[in-house]
Amino acid sequence: MPDSLDRTEIATHLFRRVSCISAGVGLALLMSAAGSAPADAQRATSFSNSGEYQVAYHIKKKKRRYVRRRKAPKKPVGPPAWFTKETNKDPVHIIVSLPKQQMTVYKGDKVLTTSKVSSGKAGYSTPSGVFSILERKPRHFSNIYRGAPMPFMQRLTWSGIALHASNSVPNHPASHGCVRLPPSFAKQLFQVTQKGGHVVVANEDNIAPVEVVHDKLFQPSPMTQEELYEAEASRIAKLAGIEFEAKVRSEKPVRILITRRTGRELFMEMQSMLNELSFGAGDVDGYMGKDTANAIRRFQATYGLKKNGFMSEELMDKLYEVTGKGKPLNGHLYVRQNFKPVFDTPVFIKGEDTPLGSHMLTAMHFEPNDEQTRWLSVTLKRGSGKNGAFGRKKKRKKKQSSDVVLTEKGPSPSSAEEALDRVEIPDDVRQRISGMLTPGSSMAITNDGISKETTPKGTDFIVLMQ
C-alpha cells in the first residue's frame, strides 16, 4: 500500500506540473496575440519555488537615431539700399568727422549715406589722419579688452584702432579709441567696403573730397597690345581653372607717399643704400638694430671712416658718393602696392620754410586704354586733441563742434595744388608710376614723414595728424 500510495501521489504531482506548464504556455501565447508583450522582448521561462510557471520579458533598448537635418541655404546678402548699382565705378571711401561724431560714405565725390559714430573718449582719443582697411572680420573679439565682441570689424591700425559695430553708440565719444558704429549700419558698410579702402578721420566739421586738376598728377599710360593679350589670356585661363603666369599689371591700387625727409627717412635711406652695397643692414625700417649697426661698422672699416657704428653726416656723404646719388635731397617718394613696398626715391621740395600740409588724393575709375583720369583731394588739419574730451566734463554742457580747436603751428599749410607745385619728381619715376597706376590709386602728401603705424610690410601709408 505505501508503494501504491507513493505512486499515486507522484502521478498527481506530475499531473499538476504539466497542467501549470500548459496554462503558462497558453497565457504567454494569449498575451503575445493580444499585444501585451513588447515586440522586441526576449521571453524567458522559469519555475518558482511554489511550482508556478513564470514568464519574464527582457526588453531591448532601442538606440536613438540622430538624423542630420540639412540647413536651408543662406540667402545671398545683397548690397544695402543706399548702395545703388549704377554706371559710377569710382572707389568707395569713408570720411569720419570727430567733432560731428559722424561718418560719411562716398563713391567718388557723391555722398551715399551718413551715420552717427562714437569715437575715443578722454584718455583714449581716436587718432586723426589717413588710414586703409587692413583686415575685415564679420566676427571678432578684442585681444586687448578682455575679449570684448567687435562684430563687423574693419581694422585701421595694427595697434588696435578699428571700425566695428556696438550696441552703445551715444552722441559723444565713448570708445577706447575705435570708431563704434550702429549694428545695422556696420553690417551694411561691411558689404560695400573692401580691404585696402581708404578711411579718413578728420578734426573738422565739414570736410569732403573735391576735384583737383594739376599737370603734376599721375595719369595712366595705356596698356600695350602685349599686355592686353596677356591680360585676356590670364582671364580665360583663370575661368578654365588653368594656371597661367602672365606679366600683367596688378589690379591692386598703387599707394604713393611724398614727404619731407625726417631723421627716420634719412635713416631708412641709409639702410637701403647699405643693403644695395651688400653690407647687410637688415629690414629697411628706420630703427637701429644689430644688423644695421654691424653694417655701418663694416662700411666704415671698408672706406676708412671712424668705426663707431653710428649714423653721421660724414657717413651719409660717403654713402651718396659710393652709390653715385650725388647729395641728399630734402624730400622722398615711396611707392607701395598690396601692402608691400615696391620702390622709393629721393625728390626735391621747393620752399624750405613753408609746410606742405597733409593731403590725400585719389584716382577715380578709368578703363585700361584711358590716358586720363580724375583726381579727388581731401586736405586735413591738425587737431588739438580736445576731441577726446568732447562732452565729457561734469556739470558742463556738451561742447559744440565749433569748440574743437585746430592748432597748426607755423605758417598756414598749403593747398593740394600748391603742394604739387613744389614737388619735383624725375621723369623716369613719373613714367614708372604711370605704368603701374590703377583705379583707386592714391597719393598722400605730408610734412611729417612715415608714421610709426606704417610698418615695413602689412600696411599702406598711414598719415597721423595727432
Which three cell numbers mark 109?
Answer: 565725390
Nearest to 278 by CA among 261, 302, 262: 302
311/270 Cα distance (integer angstroms): 8
The gap from C-alpha 105 to its chain's centroid, in whole angstroms, comes to 18
Q: Are 190 and 137 in contact (CB under 8 A)?
A: no
32/431 Cα distance (integer angstroms): 97
Q: Which residue has the cell 649714423?
A: 311
What's the pLDDT score for residue 244?
61
Q: What is the DSSP pairing of strand 358-363 with strand 442-446? A: antiparallel
Residues in the chain: 466
Q: Are 164 and 154 in contact (CB under 8 A)?
A: yes
What's the pLDDT score for residue 16?
61
What's the pLDDT score for residue 268?
85
Write a three-state SS string for the chain.
CHHHHHHHHHHHHHHHHHHHHHHHHHHHHHHHHHCCCCCCEEEEEEECCCCCEEEEEEECCCCCCCCCCCCCCCCCCCCCCCCCCCCCCCCEEEEEECCCCEEEEEECCEEEEEEECECECCCCCCCCEEEECCEEECCCECCCCCCCECCCEEECCCCCCEEEECCCCCCCCCECCCEEECHHHHHHHHHHCCCCCEEEEECCCCCCCEEECCCCCCCCCCCCHHHHHHHHHHHHHHHCCCCCCCCCCCCCCEEEEEEECCHHHHHHHHHHHHHHCCCCCCCCCCCCCHHHHHHHHHHHHHCCCCCCCCCCHHHHHHHHHHHCCCCCCCEEEEEEECCEEEEEEEEEECCCCCCCCEEEEEECCCCCCCCCCCEEEEEECCECCHHHHCCCCCCCCCCCHHHCCECCCCCCCCCHHHHHHHEECCHHHHHHHHHHCCCCCEEEEECCCCCCCCCCCCCCCCEECC
Query: 317-339: per-residue pLDDT in tens?
Result: 899 889 887 777 888 899 999 99
Identify the burial level of 185 via C-beta atoms within 10 angstroms of its C-beta, where 0-12 means exposed, 13-18 middle and 19 or more buried: buried
Nearest to 436 by CA among 288, 227, 176, 292: 227
What's the pLDDT score for residue 260?
87
19/16 Cα distance (integer angstroms): 5
One-letter amino acid for residue 264 of the chain = R
Q: What domains are there in the chain, each with its CATH number?
A: 2-59 (no CATH), 92-202 (2.40.440.10), 210-390+401-464 (no CATH)
Nearest to 115 by CA among 223, 47, 188: 188
The gap from C-alpha 342 to its chain's centroid, in whole angstroms, comes to 21
Q: How far is CA 256 from CA 61, 285, 419, 426, 447, in A?
A: 73, 17, 14, 15, 14
Q: What is the gyration radius of the CA atoms in the chain, in angstroms?
A: 39
387/203 Cα distance (integer angstroms): 8
Q: Identify the segments of the chain with pLDDT beneath 70.
A: 1-77, 87, 223-231, 243-248, 383-413, 466
Which three cell numbers mark 209?
Answer: 573730397
High-pLDDT (> 70) share of the chain, %: 72
The gap from C-alpha 444 to its chain's centroid, in whole angstroms, comes to 20
What's the pLDDT score for residue 31?
54
Q: What angle do CA 20, 21, 22 make, to 5 degrees?
A: 90
What's the pLDDT score for residue 87?
60
